[in-house]
Structure 1
Amino acid sequence: MFGRRRREETSPAPAAEVEQAERAPERESGPWDSGEPYPERERVDLGGMRLPVDSGFEVQLNLAGDHIVGAVVLFEESALQLHAFAAPKRNGIWDDIRAELAQGVRNAGGTAEEREGPFGVELAAQVPADEAPPQPVRYIGVDGPRWFLRAVISGRAALDAGVAATLEGVVRDLVVVRGDEPMAPKEAIELRLPPEARNAVEQRAGQADVPDLNPFERGPEIAEIR
């Protein structure tokens, strides 16, 4: 009896359980690096970024010439703008970028102050707007392994904690795909259309007398003031 019970207690765990334990996230939330374990959920594959999607979201892409460099999530009269950049291997760059942003906002006649947020120190700003009162904007930065993520929350979510929580959840579930190619610090990690969108564009482009289809419009620009 004792021998049988001992064998049962020391029997190896099933391979699936071992693999799940090895792949369990080491942190409670992201943003995640593509090389670490992270929770599964529905995400749009944008190449350099895997963007969480949910009902009620509208996704747009930011263009710099012919290159896709950022994504915008629109939700409840709010915008979450996301850009990922290359960063040094050992040193984060958020402290420097935050200081530059704050100085730029102040030089333009706005206000900016640091405060503690769900992702660490962030910048709460009032950004001047043409023929309108200054607009509240939250600048969030996260230093990752060889990458930096900048998230900018504007609109209703900049003041409404309930709406902001939904957009903050997008940041927590975001996956950054840095890649192994050499990149200069602060160089934008380029994005691409997801496979299903590329297929739609190619199909429409091959049809005569049918205009090209771009399933994403250019997102609202929240300029980085320098």
Structure 2
Amino acid sequence: MIFSRKRADETRDDAVLDVEEAAGPTRGPYDVSEAPDAPRLDLGSLQIPAVPDVEVRVQADPQGVIQQVVLVHGQNALQLGVFAAPRSDGIWDEVRDEIRQSLFNDGAAAQEVEGEYGTELRARLRTPDGLTDLRFVGIDGPRWMVRGVFQGQAATDPAAAGPLAACLDGLVVDRGQEAKPVREPLPLRLPREV
């Protein structure tokens, strides 16, 4: 029989991890079931934290259904999307591959890099206004995935994202309980007061 002992620091690390797991994640995007209390703009499936100097721009149809959410801070922007995912696995790896292929088909090269949200995709597109850099991030949650697309200096320098990264880190996803096809956008709506 072989016995082993954990060193004191290994035991402490395990205990710290157990406490962190019990307390929930230290940053988001959060599932609605584990989100800390904070003032947020409720757009249905997405709740966006109130961060100073960040403008929330939404494009909605006449029925108030939101088609696009873009957060703007200075010259930087973050476009947000939230999608249904399966119970078992995340979908960001597959979605990232599809985005890369789509960019390639449009004549743009994309590169995978490791970032603070895991594997990210960076691309440079030719537009009528010149070259535009984009940084795609994906965060898999329980039965949902958030996709963010950074533009401006935040696309090439994550440190420049500042308040936009704070919005992403404080984001809350309320997926709901109803069954949805994988990758279907989760419903977004304007608040009643708007």
Q: Under a length normalisation based on structure 2, what TM-score does the superposition of the two structures give? A: 0.82
C-alpha distance in 2, partners of 1:75/1:96? 30
| 1:203-225 Cα distance to aligned partner (Å, 9 max, x none) | xxxxxxxxxxxxxxxxxxxxxxx
| Cα pair distance change 1:62/1:90, threshold 3 Å | farther
* Residue 103 (structure 2) pairs with residue 101 (structure 1): no
Query: Which stretches in structure 1 are left out of the alignment for 5+ residues?
Result: 1-20, 198-226
C-alpha distance in 2, partners of 1:194/1:168? 23
Aligned residue for 1:51?
A: 48
Q: Which of 158, 164, 175 is the aligned partner of 2:172? A: 175
In the TM superposition, what is the alpha-carbon distance from 1:65 to its structure 2 partner?
7.6
**Which AA in structure 2 matches 1:76?**
G
Q: Secondary structure at the match of 2:33?
A: coil
Aligned residue for 1:73?
A: 71
| 1:127-162 Cα distance to aligned partner (Å, 9 max, x none) | 2212x3321000000111111110010023213444
C-alpha distance in 1, partners of 2:42/2:166? 17
C-alpha distance in 2, partners of 1:118/1:39? 21
Instruction: Identify the structure with bigger relative contact order (alpha carbons < 8 Å, sequence gap 6+).
Output: 2
Aligned residue for 2:185?
A: 188
Structure 2 contact 29–173 (Cα < 8 Å) conserved? yes
Q: Which of 151, 160, 163 is the aligned partner of 1:163? A: 160
CA RMSD of aligned residues (A): 1.9
Aligned residue for 2:149?
A: 152
**Which AA in structure 1 matches 2:86?**
P
**Which AA in structure 1 matches 2:136?**
Y
* Residue 134 (structure 2) pairs with residue 137 (structure 1): yes
Alignment length (residue pairs) = 173
| 1:32-82 Cα distance to aligned partner (Å, 9 max, x none) | 00112x222221011111101222111111346853144111111111111
Q: Which of 23, 26, 35 is the aligned partner of 2:24? A: 26
Task: Within 5 Å, give how 1:208-223 maps onto structure 2.
Answer: none
Aligned residue for 2:118?
A: 120
> Max radius of gyration: which structure?
1
Runs of 4+ in structure 1 off by over 4 angstroms are: none
Query: Which stretches in structure 2 are left out of the alignment for 5+ residues?
Result: 1-18
